[in-house]
Structure formats: structure tokens, C-alpha cells
Amino acid sequence: MVFYRQTLLEFGFFAVTRIVTIWLGKSFLKSMPLNTYRSLLRVDVKSAKNLKDTDLAGKSDPYAVISFKDREAAPKSSRTVTIKESLNPIWNTTFFFLVSDDCKHFKVELFDEDFGRDDSLGHCNVLRKDPGERTTYSGEEYYLEKGKGGTIDISTQEISITSGLDYLLGTRKAAIEKFIASKQRPPLALLEVVIHHCEGLKSGWIDKSDPYVKIQFEHEPEGAGVMPKDLKTRTIDNNPSPIFEEKFHFMIPDSLKSMRLSVWDEDPGRDDALGHCTVMLKDYMQKEDRKKYALNLKGTITVSYVRIPLPPLFFD
């Protein structure tokens, strides 16, 4: 009787949610997966010349901010250190960003650090290179707009990660091995996670689960977070053993030692947890073979990952 009532309740809920789902439209209910970063961009902010003096005593104290439009890059912005009392500052700083195909340019704005609000020293837009020229390291001096005068010297280079890190492990093998052998610890590593599939997830009798997987990181060190945050797979409807085969890329702090995978049942209201597990990240590996992990509630998830230091992908 209890079973019957449970089934009837479940069927009622199932019918109502399905009607609501159809009524609102599937695409409205499903938020887009954020797995859109296809390239790794290196930006070198070298130096600026003939900046405007905006301080009454002494000279301007310049720093540069690189920023992208929403969702076009992770991190969305980065800044150099401040060079005190200089109209011709030299930074020679390298930044890395994961960028999406939508990205057409980024903005570089210079500021004078002050006690109150910082003064703008002008900005420029750096156009993304044509696909055929992206892998070449090159740059130029950009004039600062808004009539403030001065120029800034910026160089860029890109590596495509569309086909995955296997390709890079081949082409950059010597540089990566040399770097690992030198025992240097870079601030950032590149992590590729492949969510292959789940098996035997928790599921209703009539309304089967509609699973998706979230990738998260715990114990992030202060000031050096994982980029991008909280990526997830697409949702596979009505299937307790879904096959995803989706690939994700993250820039992670070198010291990060684990990631958390959680599986969720997408519902029109609040999504239900289907279980989670923690994957310990081994130190730099050429490749970690696919492995099956037990979820805390029911079923398993099969994943693989590659974790490599960032600098040797660009430097020999």
C-alpha cells in the first residue's frame, strides 16, 4: 500500500513536472553549460611611455588592467603591480587567460594609483589576432585613447585547447619534461577533466533521473582561485547511466590537490543531489587513465584528467 501510494505520488509529480516542462519549453529550463573556453591566451604587458602626469606632487603611479567582456575569458580581468612615480613604467608581466571563441578583443586600461579614486590614464583595445596568426608570439605599441597621450607595449600568443591536451603533451613534450625535471613550482597549472559517464545512479521508478555533473574545487588557496568556477556538463534526460564524454579546462593553483564531482538530477524546481565524490589530483602526470569512482549515494562516475604546468606550454 505504501509502495502504491509512493508510486502514485511520484506519477502525479512526474505528470505535473512534465507538463510544466513542455509548457515552458525545455531550453528555458536548462541553463547553458559553461564549457566554452577553447584557447589559452598569453598576454605580456611590457611597458608604457609618455604617460600623463596626474599627480600634483611627484609623478603618476601607473598600473594596467586587462579586462574581457562577460563570459569571454577566465579570469575576466587581471592587473599589473603599481610602479611608483613613473611616466615610463616597465612591467614585463605575463598573464594567462582561458578564452572563448566569442572573444574578439580585450581592453587594457591604465590608471594612476592615488589615495582616493585612481585617475584613468587612458585605454586601448587589443584586437584578437586572426586564427592563422594566433600561435605566433608578437605585439605592438598601442596609443592610449581619450586624449591622455602615451603608448603601451603589449604582446600576445595563443594555444588552441580545442582538441585537448593530448596534442600539447606531444608537441610540447620536451619543454614540459624539462620544466618538471627542474622542480620549479609555477603559480598555475592547466587541468583538463573528461567526464566520461555515470552508471547506476539513484533514480525514480517512473520518473527517471535527468543527470548532469558539476565540477568544483575545495580548499582553494587565498588569492589564487580556480578559473573558471563551477563548470557543468549538459543534462541527459531520463537516464540513470548517462554518457557525457565532455571535456573541461581549468587554470588551477599549483598547490590544489583535489576536485569534487557532484551529480544532480535536473528538475523544474530545485535539482536533487544524486551523489558526489572527491578526486585526488596527483602531481604532474603525462596522463591519468580513466578511473571509476563510487558516489556517496549510489552508482559510479568515470573520469580522467591531465594536469600540466602552464609556463612550458609557451616557453622553452
Nearer to Ca ion, 210 or 246 (CB): 210
Query: Applying CB under 5 A, does 235 fall inside the site for Ca ion?
Result: no
When binding is defined by CB under 5 A, the residue of 58, 131, 200, 221 that contacts Ca ion is: 58
As to burial, measured by CB atoms within 10 angstroms (0-12 exposed, 13-18 middle, 19+ buried), residue 272 is middle
Is 131 among the residues that bind Ca ion (CB under 5 A)? no
- Reading the block at residue 149, the C-alpha cell is 597621450
Indicate whether 237 belongs to the interface with Ca ion (CB under 5 A).
no
305 with 194: CB under 8 angstroms?
Answer: yes
By CB under 5 A, tell whether 221 contacts Ca ion.
no
Interaction pattern, residues 75-114, with Ca ion; x per rule: CB under 5 A: -------------------------------------x-x
Restricted to residues 143-202, the positions that interact with Ca ion (CB under 5 A) are none
Nearer to Ca ion, 55 or 101 (CB): 55
Q: Lay out the sheet containing 211-216: strands in order across.
A: 231-232, 211-216, 258-265, 272-280
Phi/psi region, residue 71 (left: phi>0; alpha: psi -120 to 50; beta: rest), is left
- Do 215 and 193 touch, CB atoms closer than 8 A? yes
- Angle at CA 44, nearest 5°, toward 39 and 45? 135
If you write DSSP's letter for every residue of 89-102 in order, what string do you get?
-EEEEEEEEEEETT
55, 101, 140, 230: which one contacts Ca ion (CB under 5 A)? 55
Specify the residue, 114 or 140, whose C-beta has the smaller distance to Ca ion. Answer: 114
Residue 4 or 115 with smaller CB distance to Ca ion: 115
**CB 288 to Ca ion: min, Å:** 31
- Binding-site size for Ca ion (CB under 5 A) equals 10
How far apart are CB 120 and Ca ion at their closest, in Å? Answer: 10
Q: How far apart are CA 174 and CA 167, in angstroms?
A: 13
Q: Does 210 bind Ca ion (CB under 5 A)?
A: yes
C-alpha span between 297 and 202 (Å, rounded): 7
Residue 263 in the binding site for Ca ion (CB under 5 A): no
Minimum CB distance to Ca ion, residue 22 (Å): 14
CA–CA dist 188, 74 (Å, integer):
13
By the rule CB under 5 A, 21 interacts with Ca ion: no
Stretch that binds Ca ion, among 6-14, 180-188, 264-272, 280-288 (CB under 5 A): 264-272
Q: Which stretch binds Ca ion (CB under 5 A): 40-48, 63-71, 263-271, 283-291?
A: 263-271
Beta bridge partners of 99: 39, 73
Distance separating alpha carbons of residues 217 and 189, to the nearest angstrom: 14
Residue ranges in contact with Ca ion by CB under 5 A: 54-55, 58, 61, 112, 114, 119, 210, 265, 267
